Amino acid sequence: MKALGIDLGGTSVKLGIVQDGAVISSASVPTRKNSDYEGIVGDIVAAAKKLCDGHEIEKAGIGSPGLINSSSGKVCYSNNIRWSDYPLRDDISKALGVPAAIANDAKCAALGEAVVGAGKSYSRVAMLTLGTGVGGGFAVNGKIEGGNIHADASGIFGHMTLVPGGRECNCGRKGCLESYCSATAVSERAQSVFGRQITAKEVFRLALERNRVAKKIVDDFAGYLAVAIVNLANILRPECFVIGGGMAASAEMFLPIVRKKTEKELYGEKYAPVKIVSAQLGNAAGIVGATLL
């Protein structure tokens, strides 16, 4: 069986044909910044039709940023693409002529990693995606909790309060995990110290070259991440905690610090350990996960 996975992001829409948990053909189109909803849906549908030409597709799965109502199929709210109550699932399904399902993009990535990626040997898998923002998801026995607006609004890991009254987050609150552990946050902090434009990737590279300032930024980042993981793990107690998103590329630098801190802080760690690993599917996690909804 072949399914189409769609991963809608703030800068691009990634599409893939998925068979037996693997992407066999893929495409990507930019998310037009100044386009309205109809324009973006039109772009997705055109790219999907082109990609699916010659393939027998049985269903489509969509991962979208923001708060999704997976039963009504609507994108309720996104601080990223500024949509409200848009019937994305049904519009895609109608245009492509196949049944479709929809969920939050980070939840799709978590489902992908849980079922065919780094978490596939475990029944309880949590994931944090560290990219432009911080997202997350939690899967039990290959399923993400969802079905109505209240269930879909669960697991907003990126906006847990890590530091009361702390740094401003783009959700309008202060001290969220996202404002400490996203690539944006690391880059902004580095910019204020180095006094120039600098990406999170460059900060990790400098830390690897033993730049003391960069090393301090990475240590602080890893410390905050460990606190978030301890909090989440004490509540959800996954067997496996997957770290994904763009920053996972530098995981070998910060995961040892995170593991050490988590091991020390986690309640009853000896009796119910949590394995912290980096994601395996990379960019494909969201596409694959969307087809597993």
Interface residues with Zn ion (CB under 5 A) are 159, 169, 171, 173, 176
Quote the DSSP letter at residue 162: S
Tally of helices (H runs) and strands (E runs) in the chain? 10, 12
- Minimum separation from the CB atom of position 160 to Zn ion (A): 9
In which residue are the tokens 């087809």 written? 291
Q: Look at residues 274, 272, 239 and name the one whose alpha carbon lies nearest to residue 255.
A: 274
Between 173 and 216, CB nearer to Zn ion: 173
Between 134 and 206, CB nearer to Zn ion: 134
Between 176 and 255, CB nearer to Zn ion: 176
Between 58 and 168, CB nearer to Zn ion: 168
Residues 6+ apart with CB under 8 A from 199: 183, 187
Between 173 and 260, CB nearer to Zn ion: 173
Structure tokens at 227: 């606190």
Residues 6+ apart with CB under 8 A from 269: 262, 263
Angle of helix 183-194 versus helix 200-208 axis, rounded to 10: 70
- Minimum separation from the CB atom of position 170 to Zn ion (A): 7
- Minimum separation from the CB atom of position 44 to Zn ion (A): 27
Between 32 and 173, CB nearer to Zn ion: 173
Between 159 and 189, CB nearer to Zn ion: 159
What is the three-state SS of 263-277?
Answer: HHHCCCCCCCCCEEE
- Minimum separation from the CB atom of position 192 to Zn ion (A): 19
Distance from C-alpha of 178 to C-alpha of 162, rounded to nearest angstrom = 9
- Minimum separation from the CB atom of position 174 to Zn ion (A): 8
Contact 232, 106 (CB under 8 A): no
**Helix spans in the chain (H):** 37-52, 88-96, 105-116, 149-152, 178-181, 183-194, 200-208, 212-236, 251-265, 284-291
- Minimum separation from the CB atom of position 111 to Zn ion (A): 23
- Minimum separation from the CB atom of position 94 to Zn ion (A): 34
Structure tokens at 47: 């790219």
Between 118 and 225, CB nearer to Zn ion: 225
Q: Look at residues 271, 291, 262 and name the one whose alpha carbon lies nearest to residue 126.
A: 262
- Minimum separation from the CB atom of position 135 to Zn ion (A): 12
